[in-house]
Chain A
Amino acid sequence: MTLLRHAGLRLTRSPLALIILFADLAVMAVIYDPQYWQVMVMFAAPAIGAFLWIVVGALRAEARGMKLRRLLAEALVANGDGGIAHDDFPDLPVCFGKKRLYCARGKELDVQPLEDLAWAYVEEFRLHPTWHQLVIWNRKAQANVLPLRKCFVAPALERLEKAAPWLPVGYNNTMKESWNADHRDFLAMVDDFRGASRRFDRPWAGKDFAQVMAYGKNSWAGGMMNTSGGMEATRLKKLWAEGGG
Protein backbone atom coordinates (compact mmCIF):
# COMPACT_ATOMS: atom_id res chain seq x y z
CA MET A 1 0.00 0.00 0.00
CA THR A 2 2.81 2.40 0.83
CA LEU A 3 4.30 1.71 -2.61
CA LEU A 4 1.01 2.74 -4.23
CA ARG A 5 0.91 5.84 -2.02
CA HIS A 6 4.44 6.79 -3.09
CA ALA A 7 3.47 6.30 -6.72
CA GLY A 8 0.51 8.59 -6.15
CA LEU A 9 2.70 11.17 -4.45
CA ARG A 10 5.18 11.06 -7.30
CA LEU A 11 2.40 11.60 -9.82
CA THR A 12 1.00 14.57 -8.00
CA ARG A 13 4.52 16.02 -7.77
CA SER A 14 5.04 15.68 -11.49
CA PRO A 15 1.73 15.48 -13.35
CA LEU A 16 3.69 15.68 -16.61
CA ALA A 17 4.47 11.95 -16.34
CA LEU A 18 0.76 11.18 -15.99
CA ILE A 19 -0.10 13.39 -18.96
CA ILE A 20 2.55 11.72 -21.13
CA LEU A 21 1.36 8.26 -20.05
CA PHE A 22 -2.33 8.78 -20.82
CA ALA A 23 -1.86 10.91 -23.92
CA ASP A 24 0.44 8.30 -25.33
CA LEU A 25 -1.93 5.45 -24.50
CA ALA A 26 -4.78 7.38 -26.11
CA VAL A 27 -2.79 7.89 -29.32
CA MET A 28 -1.89 4.21 -29.37
CA ALA A 29 -5.52 3.21 -28.96
CA VAL A 30 -6.52 5.36 -31.93
CA ILE A 31 -3.80 4.18 -34.29
CA TYR A 32 -3.75 0.54 -33.12
CA ASP A 33 -2.86 -1.78 -35.97
CA PRO A 34 -0.92 -5.06 -35.34
CA GLN A 35 0.48 -4.89 -38.84
CA TYR A 36 2.61 -1.86 -37.97
CA TRP A 37 4.03 -3.07 -34.68
CA GLN A 38 7.24 -1.02 -35.09
CA VAL A 39 5.17 2.18 -35.08
CA MET A 40 3.34 0.95 -32.00
CA VAL A 41 6.64 0.27 -30.22
CA MET A 42 7.84 3.76 -31.08
CA PHE A 43 4.69 5.27 -29.63
CA ALA A 44 4.83 3.01 -26.61
CA ALA A 45 8.34 4.10 -25.60
CA PRO A 46 7.34 7.39 -23.87
CA ALA A 47 4.53 5.62 -22.01
CA ILE A 48 6.90 2.90 -20.84
CA GLY A 49 9.42 5.59 -19.80
CA ALA A 50 6.80 7.49 -17.82
CA PHE A 51 5.57 4.29 -16.19
CA LEU A 52 9.11 3.26 -15.23
CA TRP A 53 9.79 6.74 -13.91
CA ILE A 54 6.78 6.45 -11.64
CA VAL A 55 7.54 2.93 -10.47
CA VAL A 56 11.27 3.46 -9.93
CA GLY A 57 10.59 6.71 -8.09
CA ALA A 58 8.02 5.02 -5.87
CA LEU A 59 10.39 2.14 -5.16
CA ARG A 60 13.22 4.52 -4.27
CA ALA A 61 10.95 6.57 -2.02
CA GLU A 62 9.75 3.39 -0.35
CA ALA A 63 13.34 2.18 0.17
CA ARG A 64 14.30 5.55 1.63
CA GLY A 65 11.25 5.48 3.89
CA MET A 66 12.03 1.98 5.13
CA LYS A 67 15.64 2.87 5.83
CA LEU A 68 14.68 6.04 7.68
CA ARG A 69 11.98 4.29 9.73
CA ARG A 70 14.51 1.66 10.75
CA LEU A 71 17.08 4.31 11.67
CA LEU A 72 14.45 6.22 13.60
CA ALA A 73 13.29 3.15 15.51
CA GLU A 74 16.90 2.40 16.50
CA ALA A 75 17.58 6.02 17.48
CA LEU A 76 14.38 6.23 19.54
CA VAL A 77 15.32 3.13 21.49
CA ALA A 78 18.92 4.29 21.93
CA ASN A 79 17.79 7.65 23.30
CA GLY A 80 15.12 6.30 25.62
CA ASP A 81 12.20 7.52 23.48
CA GLY A 82 10.99 3.96 22.81
CA GLY A 83 7.21 4.23 22.80
CA ILE A 84 6.84 7.22 20.51
CA ALA A 85 4.66 6.66 17.44
CA HIS A 86 6.21 7.39 14.05
CA ASP A 87 3.87 5.89 11.48
CA ASP A 88 3.91 8.89 9.15
CA PHE A 89 7.71 9.24 9.22
CA PRO A 90 9.42 10.24 6.90
CA ASP A 91 6.51 11.73 4.91
CA LEU A 92 6.24 13.98 7.89
CA PRO A 93 9.98 14.45 8.25
CA VAL A 94 10.15 15.30 11.95
CA CYS A 95 9.60 13.19 15.04
CA PHE A 96 9.83 14.52 18.56
CA GLY A 97 11.19 12.61 21.53
CA LYS A 98 11.13 13.80 25.11
CA LYS A 99 14.31 15.81 24.68
CA ARG A 100 15.28 15.29 21.08
CA LEU A 101 14.22 16.11 17.56
CA TYR A 102 14.64 13.43 14.88
CA CYS A 103 14.76 14.74 11.30
CA ALA A 104 14.66 12.84 8.00
CA ARG A 105 17.38 14.69 6.16
CA GLY A 106 17.78 13.17 2.72
CA LYS A 107 18.62 9.51 3.33
CA GLU A 108 20.04 10.15 6.79
CA LEU A 109 18.53 10.69 10.18
CA ASP A 110 19.61 13.75 12.09
CA VAL A 111 19.13 13.89 15.85
CA GLN A 112 19.36 17.15 17.77
CA PRO A 113 18.60 18.11 21.36
CA LEU A 114 15.41 20.19 21.50
CA GLU A 115 17.20 22.81 23.54
CA ASP A 116 19.54 23.47 20.58
CA LEU A 117 16.67 24.62 18.38
CA ALA A 118 16.40 28.34 17.74
CA TRP A 119 13.80 29.00 15.05
CA ALA A 120 11.57 27.13 12.64
CA TYR A 121 9.42 28.12 9.70
CA VAL A 122 8.11 26.88 6.38
CA GLU A 123 9.43 28.00 3.00
CA GLU A 124 6.95 28.10 0.13
CA PHE A 125 8.30 28.44 -3.38
CA ARG A 126 6.70 31.35 -5.21
CA LEU A 127 6.66 29.84 -8.67
CA HIS A 128 5.64 26.41 -7.46
CA PRO A 129 3.27 26.84 -4.51
CA THR A 130 3.01 23.09 -3.91
CA TRP A 131 6.71 22.93 -2.96
CA HIS A 132 7.32 23.41 0.74
CA GLN A 133 10.22 22.81 3.04
CA LEU A 134 10.42 22.99 6.78
CA VAL A 135 13.48 24.90 7.97
CA ILE A 136 14.68 24.28 11.52
CA TRP A 137 17.59 26.44 12.65
CA ASN A 138 19.76 25.54 15.61
CA ARG A 139 21.93 27.71 17.84
CA LYS A 140 24.98 27.23 15.60
CA ALA A 141 23.09 28.82 12.71
CA GLN A 142 22.79 25.48 10.93
CA ALA A 143 19.45 24.63 9.40
CA ASN A 144 17.91 21.29 8.63
CA VAL A 145 15.92 21.94 5.47
CA LEU A 146 13.25 19.28 5.11
CA PRO A 147 11.10 19.13 1.97
CA LEU A 148 7.55 18.03 2.74
CA ARG A 149 4.17 17.88 1.08
CA LYS A 150 1.67 20.63 1.67
CA CYS A 151 -0.69 18.32 3.55
CA PHE A 152 2.07 17.60 6.10
CA VAL A 153 2.93 21.23 6.73
CA ALA A 154 0.23 21.92 9.32
CA PRO A 155 0.81 18.69 11.31
CA ALA A 156 4.58 19.32 11.31
CA LEU A 157 4.15 22.85 12.68
CA GLU A 158 1.59 21.62 15.18
CA ARG A 159 3.98 18.98 16.51
CA LEU A 160 6.79 21.48 16.63
CA GLU A 161 4.74 23.91 18.68
CA LYS A 162 3.57 21.12 20.97
CA ALA A 163 7.05 19.70 21.59
CA ALA A 164 8.80 23.06 21.96
CA PRO A 165 6.24 25.79 22.70
CA TRP A 166 9.04 28.21 23.53
CA LEU A 167 10.42 27.97 19.98
CA PRO A 168 9.67 30.80 17.51
CA VAL A 169 7.70 29.16 14.71
CA GLY A 170 6.90 31.31 11.69
CA TYR A 171 8.53 33.85 9.45
CA ASN A 172 8.46 37.53 8.71
CA ASN A 173 10.98 40.20 7.79
CA THR A 174 11.44 41.26 11.41
CA MET A 175 12.36 37.72 12.44
CA LYS A 176 14.79 37.45 9.53
CA GLU A 177 16.48 40.76 10.27
CA SER A 178 16.67 39.98 13.97
CA TRP A 179 18.24 36.61 13.21
CA ASN A 180 20.77 38.14 10.81
CA ALA A 181 21.66 41.40 12.55
CA ASP A 182 20.91 40.76 16.24
CA HIS A 183 21.75 37.09 16.41
CA ARG A 184 23.01 37.05 19.98
CA ASP A 185 19.90 38.85 21.24
CA PHE A 186 17.71 36.48 19.24
CA LEU A 187 19.27 33.44 20.94
CA ALA A 188 19.06 35.11 24.34
CA MET A 189 15.35 35.76 23.75
CA VAL A 190 14.76 32.10 22.85
CA ASP A 191 16.72 31.06 25.95
CA ASP A 192 14.50 33.29 28.08
CA PHE A 193 11.32 31.69 26.79
CA ARG A 194 12.75 28.19 27.12
CA GLY A 195 14.07 28.85 30.60
CA ALA A 196 10.68 30.16 31.72
CA SER A 197 8.85 27.33 29.85
CA ARG A 198 6.65 29.96 28.27
CA ARG A 199 5.01 29.86 24.85
CA PHE A 200 6.85 32.15 22.43
CA ASP A 201 4.57 35.13 21.96
CA ARG A 202 6.51 38.21 20.87
CA PRO A 203 4.01 40.53 19.14
CA TRP A 204 6.40 41.33 16.29
CA ALA A 205 7.12 37.70 15.52
CA GLY A 206 5.60 36.45 12.29
CA LYS A 207 3.55 33.31 11.77
CA ASP A 208 3.78 33.38 7.98
CA PHE A 209 5.53 31.13 5.49
CA ALA A 210 8.69 32.46 3.88
CA GLN A 211 8.01 33.12 0.20
CA VAL A 212 11.17 32.07 -1.61
CA MET A 213 12.67 31.50 -5.06
CA ALA A 214 14.53 28.29 -5.86
CA TYR A 215 18.15 28.59 -6.81
CA GLY A 216 20.37 26.00 -8.46
CA LYS A 217 20.05 22.29 -7.74
CA ASN A 218 18.74 20.35 -4.80
CA SER A 219 21.20 19.79 -2.02
CA TRP A 220 19.78 16.49 -0.92
CA ALA A 221 23.04 14.75 -0.13
CA GLY A 222 23.91 16.94 2.78
CA GLY A 223 24.87 19.82 0.51
CA MET A 224 25.70 23.00 2.33
CA MET A 225 25.08 26.59 1.51
CA ASN A 226 26.23 29.69 3.24
CA THR A 227 24.48 32.84 2.15
CA SER A 228 27.19 35.09 3.48
CA GLY A 229 30.61 35.81 2.04
CA GLY A 230 33.93 37.49 2.67
CA MET A 231 34.45 39.75 5.63
CA GLU A 232 30.88 39.45 6.76
CA ALA A 233 31.13 35.68 6.84
CA THR A 234 33.97 36.03 9.32
CA ARG A 235 31.93 38.44 11.41
CA LEU A 236 28.91 36.14 11.40
CA LYS A 237 30.94 33.05 12.22
CA LYS A 238 32.34 34.88 15.22
CA LEU A 239 28.86 35.93 16.23
CA TRP A 240 27.45 32.41 15.87
CA ALA A 241 30.36 30.98 17.83
CA GLU A 242 29.68 33.44 20.65
CA GLY A 243 25.92 32.90 20.48
CA GLY A 244 26.16 29.14 20.20
CA GLY A 245 28.84 28.80 22.81
Chain B
Amino acid sequence: MGKGDRPGSKKGAKASQPLRSRIGGVAMFLVAAGLVAYAVHVAVAAYNQDFLPDAPSFAPRHDFEWIVLVLLIAGAVFQVGRKLMAPSAEQVLAHDHRAPVIYLRPFDEDCRRAHAHPVGTRIGGRDLEKTSAPASPEKALAQALSRIGPFIAVGMPGDALAPLGAARLYLSDDNWQAEVEALVRRAAAIVLVPETSEGTRWEIAKVVRWTDPRRVLMIVPDPALRPLGYARIQKLSVESMPVALPEGVAGQHAFVFDAHHRPNPLRPGKITAELLEPFVAQVLHLDGASP
Protein backbone atom coordinates (compact mmCIF):
# COMPACT_ATOMS: atom_id res chain seq x y z
CA MET B 1 0.00 0.00 0.00
CA GLY B 2 1.12 3.59 0.45
CA LYS B 3 0.68 6.57 -1.79
CA GLY B 4 2.00 4.83 -4.84
CA ASP B 5 -0.33 1.92 -4.17
CA ARG B 6 -3.51 3.85 -3.54
CA PRO B 7 -5.02 4.89 -6.85
CA GLY B 8 -8.19 6.94 -6.72
CA SER B 9 -7.86 8.21 -3.16
CA LYS B 10 -7.78 11.95 -2.54
CA LYS B 11 -6.13 13.91 0.19
CA GLY B 12 -8.64 14.82 2.88
CA ALA B 13 -11.43 12.84 1.25
CA LYS B 14 -13.38 10.25 3.19
CA ALA B 15 -12.56 6.73 2.10
CA SER B 16 -15.01 5.47 -0.49
CA GLN B 17 -16.85 2.34 0.58
CA PRO B 18 -17.92 -0.53 -1.64
CA LEU B 19 -21.55 -1.33 -2.13
CA ARG B 20 -22.93 -3.51 0.68
CA SER B 21 -26.54 -4.53 1.07
CA ARG B 22 -28.00 -7.47 2.92
CA ILE B 23 -31.31 -7.11 1.05
CA GLY B 24 -29.48 -6.81 -2.26
CA GLY B 25 -27.47 -9.95 -1.43
CA VAL B 26 -30.60 -11.94 -0.58
CA ALA B 27 -32.22 -10.70 -3.80
CA MET B 28 -29.19 -11.87 -5.79
CA PHE B 29 -29.35 -15.30 -4.13
CA LEU B 30 -33.02 -15.57 -5.04
CA VAL B 31 -32.29 -14.57 -8.64
CA ALA B 32 -29.48 -17.16 -8.78
CA ALA B 33 -31.78 -19.83 -7.35
CA GLY B 34 -34.44 -18.90 -9.92
CA LEU B 35 -31.93 -19.21 -12.75
CA VAL B 36 -30.75 -22.63 -11.54
CA ALA B 37 -34.38 -23.76 -11.30
CA TYR B 38 -34.97 -22.52 -14.85
CA ALA B 39 -31.87 -24.40 -16.10
CA VAL B 40 -33.16 -27.60 -14.45
CA HIS B 41 -36.56 -27.04 -16.05
CA VAL B 42 -34.98 -26.62 -19.51
CA ALA B 43 -32.87 -29.77 -18.98
CA VAL B 44 -35.91 -31.85 -17.93
CA ALA B 45 -37.97 -30.51 -20.82
CA ALA B 46 -35.18 -31.30 -23.30
CA TYR B 47 -34.85 -34.82 -21.89
CA ASN B 48 -38.58 -35.42 -22.20
CA GLN B 49 -38.61 -34.14 -25.76
CA ASP B 50 -35.60 -36.18 -26.88
CA PHE B 51 -35.95 -39.48 -25.14
CA LEU B 52 -39.61 -40.15 -24.55
CA PRO B 53 -41.21 -42.46 -27.15
CA ASP B 54 -43.42 -39.76 -28.66
CA ALA B 55 -40.61 -37.23 -29.06
CA PRO B 56 -41.85 -35.04 -31.91
CA SER B 57 -39.02 -32.76 -32.93
CA PHE B 58 -35.83 -33.29 -34.92
CA ALA B 59 -35.15 -29.58 -35.31
CA PRO B 60 -31.65 -28.39 -34.32
CA ARG B 61 -31.66 -27.27 -30.69
CA HIS B 62 -29.27 -25.47 -28.43
CA ASP B 63 -30.47 -26.62 -25.02
CA PHE B 64 -27.02 -27.53 -23.73
CA GLU B 65 -25.46 -24.18 -24.61
CA TRP B 66 -28.47 -22.38 -23.15
CA ILE B 67 -28.29 -24.35 -19.87
CA VAL B 68 -24.55 -23.70 -19.52
CA LEU B 69 -25.07 -19.98 -20.17
CA VAL B 70 -27.88 -19.75 -17.61
CA LEU B 71 -25.78 -21.62 -15.02
CA LEU B 72 -22.80 -19.33 -15.63
CA ILE B 73 -25.00 -16.27 -15.15
CA ALA B 74 -26.45 -17.85 -11.98
CA GLY B 75 -22.92 -18.40 -10.66
CA ALA B 76 -21.95 -14.79 -11.37
CA VAL B 77 -25.13 -13.47 -9.72
CA PHE B 78 -24.49 -15.69 -6.69
CA GLN B 79 -20.95 -14.31 -6.37
CA VAL B 80 -22.27 -10.72 -6.55
CA GLY B 81 -24.75 -11.63 -3.80
CA ARG B 82 -21.94 -12.98 -1.62
CA LYS B 83 -19.92 -9.82 -2.14
CA LEU B 84 -22.90 -7.61 -1.34
CA MET B 85 -23.34 -9.50 1.92
CA ALA B 86 -19.63 -9.66 2.81
CA PRO B 87 -19.25 -8.03 6.24
CA SER B 88 -16.95 -5.07 6.62
CA ALA B 89 -13.88 -5.30 8.86
CA GLU B 90 -15.61 -3.03 11.38
CA GLN B 91 -18.57 -5.43 11.61
CA VAL B 92 -16.29 -8.46 11.93
CA LEU B 93 -14.18 -6.84 14.65
CA ALA B 94 -17.32 -5.79 16.54
CA HIS B 95 -18.58 -9.37 16.66
CA ASP B 96 -15.30 -11.24 17.03
CA HIS B 97 -13.32 -9.97 20.00
CA ARG B 98 -10.18 -11.99 19.28
CA ALA B 99 -7.11 -10.10 18.10
CA PRO B 100 -7.20 -9.95 14.28
CA VAL B 101 -4.98 -11.52 11.65
CA ILE B 102 -3.85 -8.70 9.38
CA TYR B 103 -3.22 -9.35 5.70
CA LEU B 104 -0.68 -6.87 4.31
CA ARG B 105 -0.17 -7.08 0.57
CA PRO B 106 0.20 -4.80 -2.45
CA PHE B 107 -3.24 -3.98 -3.87
CA ASP B 108 -2.19 -5.50 -7.19
CA GLU B 109 -2.23 -8.86 -5.47
CA ASP B 110 -6.05 -8.76 -5.29
CA CYS B 111 -6.45 -8.88 -9.06
CA ARG B 112 -3.36 -10.90 -9.98
CA ARG B 113 -4.22 -13.90 -12.12
CA ALA B 114 -2.27 -16.95 -13.24
CA HIS B 115 -2.58 -17.11 -17.02
CA ALA B 116 -2.21 -20.22 -19.12
CA HIS B 117 -0.06 -18.32 -21.63
CA PRO B 118 2.24 -15.31 -21.72
CA VAL B 119 0.16 -12.16 -21.51
CA GLY B 120 0.36 -9.42 -24.10
CA THR B 121 -0.84 -8.43 -27.53
CA ARG B 122 -0.37 -11.08 -30.17
CA ILE B 123 -0.30 -10.06 -33.82
CA GLY B 124 -0.82 -12.69 -36.50
CA GLY B 125 -0.86 -16.46 -36.29
CA ARG B 126 -3.48 -18.53 -34.54
CA ASP B 127 -5.15 -17.43 -31.35
CA LEU B 128 -4.79 -19.55 -28.26
CA GLU B 129 -7.27 -20.71 -25.69
CA LYS B 130 -7.45 -17.96 -23.10
CA THR B 131 -7.70 -19.28 -19.59
CA SER B 132 -6.68 -17.80 -16.28
CA ALA B 133 -7.44 -18.23 -12.59
CA PRO B 134 -7.01 -15.99 -9.56
CA ALA B 135 -3.45 -16.25 -8.28
CA SER B 136 -3.96 -14.69 -4.86
CA PRO B 137 -3.92 -17.16 -1.95
CA GLU B 138 -6.25 -14.89 0.04
CA LYS B 139 -9.25 -17.21 0.28
CA ALA B 140 -7.09 -20.16 1.35
CA LEU B 141 -5.37 -17.96 3.95
CA ALA B 142 -8.71 -16.73 5.29
CA GLN B 143 -9.86 -20.32 5.76
CA ALA B 144 -6.60 -21.60 7.21
CA LEU B 145 -6.08 -18.76 9.70
CA SER B 146 -9.66 -18.43 10.96
CA ARG B 147 -8.66 -20.38 14.09
CA ILE B 148 -6.39 -17.51 15.16
CA GLY B 149 -8.73 -14.57 14.66
CA PRO B 150 -10.75 -12.53 12.17
CA PHE B 151 -8.90 -12.07 8.89
CA ILE B 152 -8.69 -8.36 8.04
CA ALA B 153 -7.17 -6.47 5.10
CA VAL B 154 -7.14 -2.86 4.00
CA GLY B 155 -9.45 -2.50 1.02
CA MET B 156 -8.34 -1.12 -2.31
CA PRO B 157 -9.80 2.36 -2.88
CA GLY B 158 -12.35 2.26 -5.66
CA ASP B 159 -13.58 -1.30 -5.02
CA ALA B 160 -17.17 -1.40 -6.26
CA LEU B 161 -17.81 -4.60 -4.32
CA ALA B 162 -15.75 -5.90 -1.42
CA PRO B 163 -13.73 -8.95 -2.52
CA LEU B 164 -14.27 -12.27 -0.77
CA GLY B 165 -11.58 -13.55 1.58
CA ALA B 166 -10.40 -11.05 4.16
CA ALA B 167 -12.92 -8.60 5.60
CA ARG B 168 -12.03 -5.21 4.15
CA LEU B 169 -11.30 -2.00 5.99
CA TYR B 170 -11.48 1.06 3.72
CA LEU B 171 -9.23 3.90 4.85
CA SER B 172 -8.77 7.43 3.58
CA ASP B 173 -5.41 8.64 2.35
CA ASP B 174 -4.98 10.86 5.41
CA ASN B 175 -5.09 8.25 8.10
CA TRP B 176 -4.27 4.91 6.54
CA GLN B 177 -0.78 4.74 8.02
CA ALA B 178 -1.97 5.45 11.56
CA GLU B 179 -4.80 2.91 11.21
CA VAL B 180 -2.57 0.22 9.75
CA GLU B 181 0.05 0.81 12.44
CA ALA B 182 -2.64 0.46 15.12
CA LEU B 183 -3.84 -2.77 13.53
CA VAL B 184 -0.30 -4.14 13.32
CA ARG B 185 0.28 -3.38 16.98
CA ARG B 186 -2.78 -5.29 18.16
CA ALA B 187 -2.63 -8.15 15.61
CA ALA B 188 -2.54 -11.77 16.73
CA ALA B 189 -0.73 -12.56 13.49
CA ILE B 190 0.43 -10.83 10.33
CA VAL B 191 0.40 -12.27 6.85
CA LEU B 192 2.87 -10.30 4.80
CA VAL B 193 3.14 -10.37 1.01
CA PRO B 194 6.18 -8.13 0.57
CA GLU B 195 6.84 -6.00 -2.48
CA THR B 196 9.28 -3.27 -3.35
CA SER B 197 6.73 -0.44 -3.44
CA GLU B 198 6.94 2.42 -0.97
CA GLY B 199 3.80 1.35 0.90
CA THR B 200 4.78 -2.26 1.48
CA ARG B 201 8.30 -1.21 2.54
CA TRP B 202 6.67 0.99 5.17
CA GLU B 203 4.51 -1.93 6.28
CA ILE B 204 7.52 -4.23 6.59
CA ALA B 205 9.25 -1.63 8.76
CA LYS B 206 6.19 -1.42 11.04
CA VAL B 207 5.87 -5.19 11.28
CA VAL B 208 9.56 -5.55 12.13
CA ARG B 209 9.21 -2.86 14.77
CA TRP B 210 5.94 -3.85 16.46
CA THR B 211 5.30 -7.53 15.90
CA ASP B 212 6.75 -10.61 17.54
CA PRO B 213 8.41 -12.29 14.53
CA ARG B 214 6.87 -15.64 15.55
CA ARG B 215 3.49 -14.13 14.64
CA VAL B 216 4.51 -13.29 11.10
CA LEU B 217 3.78 -15.42 8.05
CA MET B 218 5.49 -14.25 4.88
CA ILE B 219 4.23 -15.32 1.45
CA VAL B 220 6.81 -14.88 -1.32
CA PRO B 221 6.99 -15.94 -4.99
CA ASP B 222 7.82 -19.61 -5.49
CA PRO B 223 11.51 -19.69 -6.56
CA ALA B 224 10.78 -22.59 -8.92
CA LEU B 225 8.11 -20.67 -10.80
CA ARG B 226 9.19 -17.07 -10.29
CA PRO B 227 12.94 -16.97 -9.61
CA LEU B 228 13.11 -13.30 -10.56
CA GLY B 229 10.28 -12.43 -8.18
CA TYR B 230 11.93 -14.36 -5.38
CA ALA B 231 15.28 -12.68 -6.05
CA ARG B 232 13.57 -9.27 -5.87
CA ILE B 233 11.97 -10.08 -2.51
CA GLN B 234 15.19 -11.60 -1.19
CA LYS B 235 16.99 -8.38 -2.06
CA LEU B 236 14.23 -6.44 -0.31
CA SER B 237 14.65 -8.64 2.76
CA VAL B 238 18.36 -7.78 2.87
CA GLU B 239 17.45 -4.08 2.93
CA SER B 240 14.39 -4.19 5.19
CA MET B 241 14.51 -7.15 7.54
CA PRO B 242 16.82 -8.06 10.43
CA VAL B 243 17.65 -11.43 8.83
CA ALA B 244 17.49 -11.88 5.08
CA LEU B 245 15.59 -14.66 3.35
CA PRO B 246 17.74 -17.64 2.30
CA GLU B 247 18.54 -18.70 -1.26
CA GLY B 248 15.41 -19.89 -3.01
CA VAL B 249 14.47 -23.55 -2.88
CA ALA B 250 11.86 -24.86 -5.30
CA GLY B 251 8.37 -24.83 -3.86
CA GLN B 252 9.22 -22.92 -0.70
CA HIS B 253 7.08 -19.82 -0.84
CA ALA B 254 5.91 -19.39 2.76
CA PHE B 255 8.15 -18.47 5.67
CA VAL B 256 7.63 -18.30 9.42
CA PHE B 257 10.16 -16.73 11.78
CA ASP B 258 11.72 -17.60 15.10
CA ALA B 259 12.13 -15.16 18.00
CA HIS B 260 15.43 -13.94 16.48
CA HIS B 261 13.82 -13.07 13.14
CA ARG B 262 15.42 -16.06 11.43
CA PRO B 263 13.19 -17.24 8.56
CA ASN B 264 12.15 -20.90 8.39
CA PRO B 265 10.43 -22.11 5.24
CA LEU B 266 7.24 -24.08 5.52
CA ARG B 267 7.30 -27.28 3.50
CA PRO B 268 6.70 -26.81 -0.25
CA GLY B 269 3.13 -26.92 -1.40
CA LYS B 270 -0.05 -24.97 -2.02
CA ILE B 271 -1.40 -22.75 0.74
CA THR B 272 -3.77 -24.96 2.71
CA ALA B 273 -4.86 -25.28 6.33
CA GLU B 274 -2.58 -28.30 6.62
CA LEU B 275 0.47 -26.43 5.30
CA LEU B 276 -0.12 -23.51 7.69
CA GLU B 277 -0.82 -25.73 10.70
CA PRO B 278 2.68 -25.20 12.26
CA PHE B 279 2.20 -21.43 12.04
CA VAL B 280 -1.32 -21.55 13.50
CA ALA B 281 -0.12 -23.81 16.33
CA GLN B 282 2.79 -21.47 17.05
CA VAL B 283 0.55 -18.40 17.26
CA LEU B 284 -2.06 -20.16 19.40
CA HIS B 285 0.73 -21.38 21.68
CA LEU B 286 1.97 -17.78 22.08
CA ASP B 287 -1.56 -16.70 22.98
CA GLY B 288 -1.77 -19.45 25.58
CA ALA B 289 -4.60 -21.18 23.77
CA SER B 290 -4.52 -24.90 23.15
CA PRO B 291 -3.72 -25.47 19.45
- Scoring B114, B118, B121 by chain A CB atoms within 10 A of each residue's CB, the highest score goes to B118
Which residues of A sit under 8 angstroms from B135, Cβ to Cβ? Answer: 181
Q: Of B42-50, B83-91, B225-233, which stretch is located at the interface?
A: B225-233
| In contact, B120 and A143 (Cβ under 8 angstroms) | yes
Q: Of A1-9, A12-20, A76-84, A230-238, which stretch is located at the interface?
A: A230-238
| In contact, A174 and B130 (Cβ under 8 angstroms) | no
Which residues of A sit under 8 angstroms from B125, Cβ to Cβ? Answer: 123, 133, 135, 145-147, 218-220
Given A176-B117, A235-B108: A213 and B129 interface contact (C-beta under 8 Å): yes
Interface residues of A in 193-245 (CB under 8 A from B): 202, 204, 210, 212-220, 222-228, 230-232, 235-236, 240
Given A123-B128, A145-B126, A232-B111: A226 and B225 interface contact (C-beta under 8 Å): no
Q: Does A178 interact with chain B (Cβ within 8 Å)?
A: yes
Which residues of B sit under 8 angstroms from A106, Cβ to Cβ? Answer: 124
Which residues of A sit under 8 angstroms from B232, Cβ to Cβ? Answer: 182, 185
| In contact, B129 and A185 (Cβ under 8 angstroms) | no
| In contact, A105 and B123 (Cβ under 8 angstroms) | yes
Given A145-B126, A181-B221: A227 and B132 interface contact (C-beta under 8 Å): yes
Which residues of B sit under 8 angstroms from A228, Cβ to Cβ? Answer: 113, 115, 119, 132
Q: Does B247 interact with chain A (Cβ within 8 Å)?
A: no
Interface residues of B in 229-260 (CB under 8 A from A): 229, 231-232
A217 to B228, CA, bound (A): 35
A182: min CB distance to chain B, Å: 4
| In contact, B226 and A174 (Cβ under 8 angstroms) | yes
A69: min CB distance to chain B, Å: 18
Count the B residues whose beta carbon is within 8 Å of the partner chain — how many? 31
A156: min CB distance to chain B, Å: 13
A224 to B225, CA, bound (A): 28
| In contact, A225 and B121 (Cβ under 8 angstroms) | yes
- Scoring A125, A146, A179, A220 by chain B CB atoms within 10 A of each residue's CB, the highest score goes to A179
Interface residues of A in 86-139 (CB under 8 A from B): 105-106, 110, 119, 123, 125, 131, 133, 135, 137
Q: What is the predominant secondary structure among interface residues of chain B facing chain A?
A: mixed
- Interface size class, chain A: 35 or more
Tell which of B112, B115, B122 touches A145, judged by Cβ atoms closer than 8 Å: B122
| In contact, A133 and B126 (Cβ under 8 angstroms) | yes
| In contact, B126 and A227 (Cβ under 8 angstroms) | no
| In contact, B226 and A217 (Cβ under 8 angstroms) | no
Given A105-B124, A123-B128: A179 and B119 interface contact (C-beta under 8 Å): yes
Interface residues of A in 153-212 (CB under 8 A from B): 173-174, 176-182, 185-186, 189, 202, 204, 210, 212
Ordered nearest first, which 6 A-B pairs have the shortest CB separation? A145-B125, A141-B120, A185-B228, A215-B129, A182-B228, A231-B111
Given contacts A135-B122, A240-B120, 12 further A-B contacts (CB under 8 A): A142-B122, A143-B122, A146-B125, A147-B126, A179-B118, A210-B117, A215-B129, A217-B127, A219-B126, A225-B122, A227-B120, A230-B111
